[in-house]
Amino acid sequence: MAFAAPPPKAHCFILSAPEGSTVDDVIDALEAVTGPAGIKSLQHMGGVKFSAAASSENAATKLKSRGAILLNGESVPLVSIGPEIVHVSVFRVPLWVGDAALASALSAYGNVQQVHEPAFKGRPGVGTGIRVARVEMKKPIPNFLSVQGHTVMCDYRGVKKVCSRCRLSGHIGKDCATPRCARCGVFGHTTDGCTEPCRRCGGNHATVDCVRPRSFAAAAAGEQEGIDSLSTPVGPHGEQAPLEETSNEAVASDAESQGDIADLPHHSGAKSTANQTQGETEEDTSSETCGDLSSPRPWGHGCISQRGT
């Protein structure tokens, strides 16, 4: 036997009606928000308390957006029973970043049920580039989020808007007057008097002047603050060595070990100890085996010193 599916918990609400309100009064007040046939069920829970279920997701969204109904001249709050479902519009997502990557970034704030890209009106085959995510939100999604190293902007009902430049609330990017230090790159103070060490390598120089490549992990996470202790040069006795005294080979070796940059060209005159040892061995062998060049030798056995000829 097949049974009718109950309404989702997210479609259900609880309200306390004013004294003397009838069932018809409550239904009429609810459908004044949802439209006709917007209520699936209304349950009297005793006293003045009622439980209502919307007939569709659209009707439930209208009730959540309104947050209250007007019942017998009074504003009656609606309390959602299920988790909060929000539709998040995400802007500035690069076209080559997939929906799965965006859903992964949003999953830290709740259960992502769907991600889609709406199309232009009259152009059903051309997307707008805006992603719309349906999220069962457990904690507030920030106004700006990092997705695969790209900063995207999230907008939804109730979002705490912040400045796109300094990440402070109360104003928007075009009106931002927050000072930014040219030495350490941090908003909130001017360059004059700043003595902060380099946030990339810890050296006694400005962060903007640092020649140490930024780590891939920091770039992917979109981080701008903090010192990567793994990239800090260390002296032979454990003390921090200044970046200026680090040789080119040391910088290249350290960067290559972190996977930040490709192989760097070394000085043409530099030789490793192994190469020098091999060269010395070849020279010694050459002096011992060459002897009289006029003497006949077996095929394939030539003078080592003549290999380049």
Q: Could you tell me the CA-to-CA distances from 248 to 211, 235, 236 in Å, in that order?
A: 12, 15, 17
What domains are defined for the chain? Answer: 9-80 (3.30.70.330), 84-155 (3.30.70.330), 179-261 (no CATH)
Please write down the HEC assignment for all residues of 65-79. HHCEEEECCEEEECE
Confirm if 159 and 145 have CB atoms less than 8 A apart: no
Q: pLDDT tens digit string along 259-276?
A: 443 444 444 444 444 444
Instruction: Give the contacts of 145 (CB within 8 A, at least 6 positions apart).
Output: 90, 105, 106, 151, 152, 153, 154
For residue 101, the model assigns a pLDDT of 96
User: Residue 277 class from Cβ within 10 Å (0-12 exposed, 13-18 middle, 19+ buried)?
Assistant: exposed
For residue 60, the model assigns a pLDDT of 92
For residue 173, the model assigns a pLDDT of 80
Residues paired with residue 155 on neighbouring β-strands, in sequence order: 89
For residue 70, the model assigns a pLDDT of 95
Low-confidence ranges of the chain (pLDDT < 50): 222-309
For residue 304, the model assigns a pLDDT of 45
For residue 78, the model assigns a pLDDT of 94
Confirm if 129 and 59 have CB atoms less than 8 A apart: no
User: How would you label 79-116 residue by residue, b for 16+ Cβ within 10 Å and e otherwise?
Assistant: ebeeeebbebebeebeeebebebbbebbeebbebeebe
pTM across the whole model: 0.48
